[in-house]
């Protein structure tokens, strides 16, 4: 069974927080690929970046993401840069991918330009975050089947919105000719 939802978005978007709550609301498991990478390698993401660089980290991440999407049936949260990989973009096809959107200023406020995030470490984390978003935002939008702004909303409200949207999407199916039908409306007839 495929994951109920795959969460993507930049650092600070709320993928872990929303992911845990969404999984609880849906009665399914939560799987965070960043946490899985740390568990499986026995190293922090920061130490992997330091020892192997971003390409080394992304190679590990590709494997973990592919395995998670193949084996997990709950909510899967991908690391912020996972979508940069063409392999990861291919793996997510056919799944419900939810892009948790925030502005650059909100992302900076939430992360505090945290130096424990390897790509924000060093001089001028604000500029680094802006640069990441210029590159990643179009990719997040391309891979997403649903976009949800988290800025100005509590995690609980974001989860309620997503659950409602998932329920509505599940109630609809496509006919071979591409027309949408609403199962609930048909059941009432």
The pLDDT tens digits for 153-172 are 999 999 999 999 998 876 56
117 is in an annotated binding site: yes
Known binding residue 80? Answer is yes
Residue 175 has a pLDDT of: 44
**5-188 in CATH: which number?**
3.40.50.300
pLDDT at 171: 59
Domain boundaries, the chain: 5-188
Q: Is position 15 annotated in a ligand binding site? A: yes
Q: 16: annotated binding-site residue?
A: yes
pLDDT in tens, 92-148: 788 999 999 999 888 888 776 555 555 556 677 778 888 888 999 999 999 999 999
DSSP characters for 62-87? Answer: HHHHHHHHHH--SEEE--TTGGG-HH
Is 13 annotated to bind a ligand? Reply is yes
Two tokens at 105? Answer: 């200023």
- Is 157 annotated to bind a ligand? Reply is no
Q: Do the annotations mark residue 12 as ligand-binding?
A: yes
> CA–CA separation, 175 vs 159, rounded Å?
29
List alpha helices for 72-154, DSSP H. 86-91, 104-111, 125-143
The answer to whether 174 is a known ligand-binding residue is no
**Residues 4-56 pLDDT 10s:** 999 999 988 999 999 999 999 999 999 999 999 999 999 999 899 889 998 99
């Amino acid at each position: 069974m495929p994951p109920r939802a795959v969460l993507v978005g930049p650092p600070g978007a709320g993928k872990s927080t929303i992911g845990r709550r969404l999984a609880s609301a849906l009665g399914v498991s939560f799987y965070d690929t960043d946490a899985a990478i740390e568990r499986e390698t026995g190293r922090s993401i920061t130490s992997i970046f330091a020892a192997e660089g971003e390409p080394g980290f992304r190679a590990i991440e590709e494997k973990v993401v592919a395995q998670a999407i193949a084996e997990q049936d709950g909510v899967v949260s991908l690391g912020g840069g996972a979508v940069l990989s063409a392999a990861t973009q291919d793996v997510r096809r056919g799944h419900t991918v939810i892009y948790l959107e925030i502005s650059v200023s909100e992302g900076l406020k939430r992360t505090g330009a945290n130096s424990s995030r390897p790509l924000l470490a060093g001089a001028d984390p604000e500029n680094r975050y802006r640069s990441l978003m210029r590159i990643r935002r179009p990719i997040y939008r391309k891979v997403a089947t649903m976009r949800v702004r988290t800025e100005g909303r509590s995690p609980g409200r974001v989860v309620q919105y997503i659950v409602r949207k998932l329920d509505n999407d599940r109630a609809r199916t496509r006919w071979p000719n591409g027309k949408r039908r609403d199962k609930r409306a048909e059941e009432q007839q």
